[in-house]
Amino acid sequence: QKEVEQDPGPLSVPEGAIVSLNCTYSNSAFQYFMWYRQYSRKGPELLMYTYSSGNKEDGRFTAQVDKSSKYISLFIRDSQPSDSATYLCAMKKETNAGKSTFGDGTTLTVKP
């Protein structure tokens, strides 16, 4: 069983929709939770970074971590065609010296 499972998608939504992207994990040692965005033919880039449980908001993006359920989510409000990309969740342990464990990614298409 993988340590990190991500809803596989693909996901297709109309412009303006609220999007929810989700990951579950099995290892309670994960303390740092990240979301990366990857456009086609590019490398991933960090979108959101949270430590432990709670919510973090940045513009139209909200990252939510529920450590009791071992569940993280990324919400995108008022989605735009420019949000069309693959979204990867990633997690890191406190003592992991930089190594992150990634989900497989969810490909999102926002249709105008």
Partner 1 sequence: DVKVTQSSRYLVKRTGEKVFLECVQDMDHENMFWYRQDPGLGLRLIYFSYDVKMKEKGDIPEGYSVSREKKERFSLILESASTNQTSMYLCASSLAASGRVKETQYFGPGTRLLVL
Which positions touch partner 1 (CB under 8 A)? 6, 32, 41-46, 49, 51, 88, 92, 97-100, 102-105
Question: Shortest gap between Cβ of 8 and partner 1 (angstroms)?
Answer: 8
Closest by Cα among 79, 95, 98 to 37: 79
- Of 1 and 112, the one with the shorter C-beta distance to partner 1 is 1
Q: Which helix (H) or strand (E) holds 49?
A: strand 45-51
Q: Which residue has the tokens 């919510």?
A: 55
To partner 1, the closest distance from the beta carbon of 87 in angstroms equals 12
- CB of 87 closer than 8 Å to CB of 72: no
Q: To the nearest whole angstrom, how small is the minimum distance from the Cβ of residue 82 to partner 1?
A: 19
Q: What's at 68, amino acid-wise? A: S
Q: How far is the CB of 15 from partner 1 (least distance, A)?
A: 26
Shorter beta-carbon distance to partner 1: residue 26 or 78: 26
Residue closer to partner 1 by CB (options 11, 44) is 44
Q: Compute CA 46 distance to the chain's CA centroid, rounded to the nearest angstrom.
A: 10
Look up tokens 């971590």; give the residue.
65
